Structure 1
Amino acid sequence: MNSIPCVIMRGGTSRGPFIRMKDLPSDQAQQADILLSLMGSGHALQIDGIGGGDPLTSKVAIVERSSHPDADVDYLFAQVDVVNKRVDFNPNCGNMLSAVGPYAIETGLVEPQDGTTVVKVHNLNTQRLIECHVPTPGKQVQYEGSVTISGVPGSAAGIQLSFLDIMGSKTGQLLPTGNACDEIEGVEVSCIDAATPIMLLRAESVGLTGHEAPAELDNNAALLTRLETLRREAGRRMGMGDVSQSVLPKVVLISEAEAASHTLNVRYFVPHRCHKAIAVTGAMAVAAAINVPGSVANHMAISTQKLSAGQLLSQITLEHPSGSIELTAEYRQQNAFDLARVSLIRTARKIMSGQIFYATPLKVAGNHAIETVD
């Protein structure tokens, strides 16, 4: 058995190990083998690792000092498949990012300031910059506080995240297909790339209300097959090629919000299971879509009188299965295609610190270890 230093942290509505890049091999295939072992993937319960048998608890944050002139640390996110021997380094996770600032301070990568420490993060998945405002009274990371976020029990100290210039994070374009709205197999969809690529559609267009519980959606095999067919074609049209083995683009179903003060109701898929809340990056993509003239989200927001045609909505609240999430969008010169930053409040908690052990693969097929699963 081998081991590396590790801090397990909750970031927003996700949880996973935080490790230093310097403690991993430089070869990404070898990194993937280590992550698969330490998370216990290849078993539905991830019984031989620390994964929680759910995509939200099968995530890894890899952090290191940054060579970027405007950043303190680099952050590489890895989504580790629960059942399959697969690690995806393509997506981003804003929830795990919530804990990158505290982790960087705790491990000495960033010197804390008295009051608030701003940790500037360079996201290697998207090549974008994020400012993390971490409360550090007395130059110590403060985890306890009165801020609550939907999907997490109790309260904690608030951490403000400001994502800069998120448009075209993967494809280089806010509208990768060139259109605000496309039709795929008779269904109107909007393909948006802001923080993460998404395919957005009205829930009613696939026979849903949009207010179904995640478990009900996960058990609807016909629905999941239909959404996957649409997602693969959307990925092709977005210039992402064959996305059958990728978690991107994500699928977002929208419907009218129940609360008058909320903008839209969403169901977010990751991509083959419904998120019990919504990913931070997914929420930012939806927020961007709301302000794109002609998009599915823009049409719905106008039809439900959440905004007027030609208006830019800066304060956006999205309903999701666990509650809601609030975002602030800032545009340059009131231009819907020049989104400067999106900010929101998250929380984080340090759970444990120590050494994490992983097994060396005995057999290798391609880049990944082989393991028999009962």
Structure 2
Amino acid sequence: MRLRGHWYRGGTSKCWLFDADDVALHATSQEEVLMLLADAFGAADARQLDGVGGGTSTTSKAAIITPTPEGPADLDYLFAQVGIGDPTVELGSNCGNCATAIALYAVQSGIVAPGAGTTRVRMRNVNTGATLSGTISTPGGRVPTSGRARVPGSSAPGVPVSLSFHAPWGQTTGSVLPTGSPVDEIVLGEAGLTGSMVDAGAPAVFLPADQVGIDLSSMTDPLATHLPRLIRARSAAAVQMGIRRPEDPPQNAVPKVGVVAPAGDYIATDGAKITAESHDVRVRMLSMLAPHPAIGLTSAVAVSLASALPGTVVAEAARLAPLGTSASGLLRIGTPAGVITAEVTTDGSGNVSEVALHRAARQLAIADIDVAQPVAQTA
């Protein structure tokens, strides 16, 4: 069967975007949709050799898009994290980098008509109910096809997109602090860890880097010796956050797990020297059981919210002055790819109402994907 797809780079991810009507030609139930995506990506193979997947967590992503011109948003999108070496697809999360691409796609495909100066695309992530908006420059109503914007983690230029995440938070667990506490002990069966669990952008758990024994003075370490413990911590935190029951198998996509440390000089993955003065907090995240090469935008949102919540391990590391009510401030996050900046805005009650990040996107291809049917393995 042939499935029409639109291939985009959004920020530091690559995403296949599909129109819901095109998907409906081949799959109608959710189970059929998941099987279709797994087959299209070649998910059963760790190299994704017989599909369009990229073989990494940041290049094995998809979104199915439904225009909603009469709704509160311009479109709904279902985000899918496709397995690598595992023919499964997870629908429990969101991806800001893919949302960046979706905003550009919406303008380029005509879902949203370009405005005279800028065009704002309103998006609803149906996985979590989160609302986002992407703002794109469209001078004179011109639809952009290229741009010069760059983001840490990619040297390639793209169309600039300002991506905003809007409150309310806690869409997955019901609260921005799922346990009701800014810090908790995460029980691993041995000595526990102290961590902060936050549900904003995506559910995430943050651990002090020194407690885990990870030195963030260099971001080049593959973390191989630390991965088992971090993965166990994420699995335990998922139960404490109410994301899964103890008897359920762990998910690979959520909650996100990361380690944090106060600002300090460090070496980025490309060898660049990042000074302590250039950022407020250092963060290193895992993505689908492997270290993220930069930071996912949903994780950046979770870091931003946690930095504004007194007592969390992120707030203790960042030590920023409180924003107060109806104010905006910048949080500079040191990541393996360099420093990214989030603009954090509070409402009249002092709660974070919006987190905005500046990204870049570019269309890579439009393709009719020849989806291979799975072949039974024989000895």
What TM-score does the superposition give when structure 2 sets the normalisation length?
A: 0.88
* Greater alpha carbon shift after TM alignment, 275-284 vs 104-113: 104-113
The letter of the residue matching 1:339 is: V
Residues 67/124 of structure 1: CA separation in 2 closer, same or farther (3 Å cut): farther
The letter of the residue matching 1:19 is: F
Does the residue aligned with 1:283 lie in a helix, a strand or coil?
helix
Offset of residue 215 of structure 1: 5.3
Q: Is 1:266–2:283 an aligned residue pair?
A: yes
Contact 1:293 1:310 in 2 (8 A): no
Pick one of 181, 205, 230 that aligns with 1:199. 205
Q: Is 1:87–2:89 an aligned residue pair?
A: yes
Contact 2:54 2:60 in 1 (8 A): yes
The letter of the residue matching 1:230 is: A
Aligned to 1:239: 242
Aligned to 1:11: 10
Offset of residue 296 of structure 1: 0.8
The letter of the residue matching 1:351 is: L
In structure 2, C-alpha distance between the alignment counterparts of 1:170 and 1:211, rounded to whole Å: 33
Residues 332/86 of structure 1: CA separation in 2 closer, same or farther (3 Å cut): same
Pick one of 342, 348, 361 that aligns with 1:327. 342
Residues 21/214 of structure 1: CA separation in 2 closer, same or farther (3 Å cut): farther
Aligned to 1:356: 369
In structure 1, C-alpha distance between the alignment counterparts of 2:373 and 2:156, rounded to whole Å: 39
Offset of residue 145 of structure 1: 2.8
In structure 2, C-alpha distance between the alignment counterparts of 1:166 and 1:211, rounded to whole Å: 35
In structure 2, C-alpha distance between the alignment counterparts of 1:309 and 1:350, rounded to whole Å: 37
* Greater alpha carbon shift after TM alignment, 261-270 vs 237-246: 237-246
In structure 1, C-alpha distance between the alignment counterparts of 2:6 and 2:129, rounded to whole Å: 24
Aligned to 2:307: 290
Residues 314/31 of structure 1: CA separation in 2 closer, same or farther (3 Å cut): same
Aligned to 1:44: 46
* Greater alpha carbon shift after TM alignment, 91-100 vs 61-70: 61-70
Aligned to 1:29: 31
In structure 1, C-alpha distance between the alignment counterparts of 2:347 and 2:166, rounded to whole Å: 12
Residues 310/186 of structure 1: CA separation in 2 closer, same or farther (3 Å cut): farther
Aligned to 1:307: 321
Offset of residue 180 of structure 1: 0.4
Offset of residue 169 of structure 1: 2.3
The letter of the residue matching 1:132 is: G
The letter of the residue matching 1:189 is: G
Contact 2:118 2:135 in 1 (8 A): yes
Aligned to 1:139: 141
Cα RMSD after superposing both structures: 2.1
Does the residue aligned with 1:209 lie in a helix, a strand or coil?
coil
Residues 81/211 of structure 1: CA separation in 2 closer, same or farther (3 Å cut): farther
Residues 269/71 of structure 1: CA separation in 2 closer, same or farther (3 Å cut): same
Contact 2:63 2:78 in 1 (8 A): yes
Aligned to 1:316: 331
Give percent identity, aligned residues only. 34
In structure 1, C-alpha distance between the alignment counterparts of 2:215 and 2:145, rounded to whole Å: 38
Aligned to 1:72: 74
**Structural mapping, 1:250-265, within 5 Å:** 250-257=256-263, 258=265, 259-265=276-282
Offset of residue 250 of structure 1: 0.7
Contact 1:251 1:271 in 2 (8 A): no
Offset of residue 138 of structure 1: 4.0
1:160-193: CA deviations, max 9, x gaps?
1111105102111000011100012431100000
Offset of residue 246 of structure 1: 4.0
